[in-house]
């Protein structure tokens, strides 16, 4: 499959998408007056909750934590919360912070997850975006070396920052996750508290191992019963400081 792409400036990718951020980007976004949403998902240490072929990638960006009598790999995404247009999108559909826009914005329309292929039909870009422009993919392979470097930077940030992100969540009292593939546990923390938690955690010379006992919010009784058999800690539906969003509702809002 060959894919060409040229941005036509429609601004659709800058509307109603929660943009994943690195730790430094999250801190800057919060202190600049933006809102950061935290999305949490996990799968069990024994692999329950994730296809086998995705295990290596998923483990590399996750942290092993306790959940009841079980252990789980938890992944945490800090993302710019964009309900409607991005706060940096001006009336001409131009980005006011283009030179320092987030890494994921620089990568778009490519996918970061190696198990998700680029499919133009799933993007908001109009059809003529894909009719001309530089080659992105030739014969099923990404040929833009600069873009490949940015994608690897994003993946490496996920790997490097997961311990710090989990410690920040602990500071904020966040301890409920969704099961990977079932949904996300989402949090909209108070931004001064979020920025303060980042400062506090980054100020530690050594981040101690996690002592949090994470619990799962699940969408169906059948999944709940299975998770209980594995010894995982289960949250009561609707409790806590988070919102549980089934996967089909959140996937279209994420640029990841």
Class of residue 171 by CB neighbours under 10 A (exposed 0-12, middle 13-18, buried 19+): middle
pLDDT band at 242 (very low <50, low <70, confident <90, very high): confident
Global pTM reads 0.92
Mean of pLDDT over the chain = 92
pLDDT band at 241 (very low <50, low <70, confident <90, very high): confident
User: What share of the chain in percent tops pLDDT 70?
Assistant: 95
> Per-residue b/e over 58-82, b at no fewer than 16 CB within 10 Å?
bbebbbebebbebbbbbbbbbbbbb
Domain layout of the chain by residue ranges = 3-253
Q: Tell me: the pLDDT tens digits for 117-152?
A: 999 999 999 999 999 899 999 999 999 999 999 999
What pLDDT does residue 158 have?
A: 97
Q: In the chain, where do the E strands start and end?
A: 3-4, 19-21, 36-44, 63-67, 70-80, 135-138, 141-142, 176-179, 183-187, 215-217, 243-246
Looking at residues 10-23, what average pLDDT do you find? Answer: 95
Looking at residues 10-28, what average pLDDT do you find? Answer: 95
The answer, yes or no, to whether residue 110 has pLDDT greater than 70, is yes
What pLDDT does residue 248 have?
A: 56
C-alpha distances out from residue 132 to 7, 8, 63, 139, Å: 10, 10, 42, 17
Q: Tell me: the pLDDT tens digits for 76-93?
A: 999 999 999 999 999 999
Which of the pair, 209 or 229, is modelled with greater confidence?
229
Q: Tell me: the pLDDT tens digits for 180-208?
A: 999 999 999 999 999 999 999 999 988 88
CB under 8 Å, gap of 24 or more: what pairs does 226-229 form? 226/48, 227/44, 227/48, 227/179
Which of the pair, 227 or 241, is modelled with greater confidence?
227
Q: Please, are residues 72 and 214 in contact by the beta-carbon 8 Å criterion?
A: yes
Q: Tell me: the pLDDT tens digits for 39-51?
A: 999 999 999 999 9
What pLDDT does residue 240 have?
A: 59
């Amino acid at each position: 499959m060959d894919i060409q792409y040229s941005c036509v400036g429609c601004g659709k990718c800058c509307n109603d998408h929660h943009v994943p951020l690195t730790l430094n980007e999250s801190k800057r976004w919060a202190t600049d007056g933006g809102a950061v949403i935290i999305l949490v998902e996990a799968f069990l240490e024994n692999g329950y909750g994730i296809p086998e072929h995705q295990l290596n990638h998923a483990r590399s960006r996750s942290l092993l934590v306790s959940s009841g009598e079980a252990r789980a790999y938890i992944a945490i995404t800090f993302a710019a919360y964009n309900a409607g247009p991005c706060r940096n999108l001006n009336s001409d559909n131009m980005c006011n912070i283009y030179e320092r826009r987030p890494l994921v914005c620089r990568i778009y329309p490519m996918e970061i997850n190696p198990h998700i292929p680029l499919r133009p039909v799933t993007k908001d870009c109009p059809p003529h975006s894909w009719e001309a422009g530089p080659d992105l993919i030739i014969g099923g392979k990404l040929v833009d070396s600069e873009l490949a470097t940015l994608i690897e930077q994003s993946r490496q940030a996920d790997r490097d920052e997961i311990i710090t992100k989990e410690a920040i969540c602990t500071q904020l009292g966040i301890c409920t996750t969704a099961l990977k593939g079932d949904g996300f546990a989402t949090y909209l923390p108070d931004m001064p508290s979020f920025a303060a938690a980042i400062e506090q955690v980054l100020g530690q010379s050594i981040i101690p191992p996690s002592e949090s006992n994470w619990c799962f919010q699940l969408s169906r009784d059948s999944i709940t019963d299975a998770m209980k058999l594995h010894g995982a800690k289960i949250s009561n539906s609707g409790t806590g400081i988070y919102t549980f969003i089934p996967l089909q509702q959140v996937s279209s809002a994420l640029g990841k």
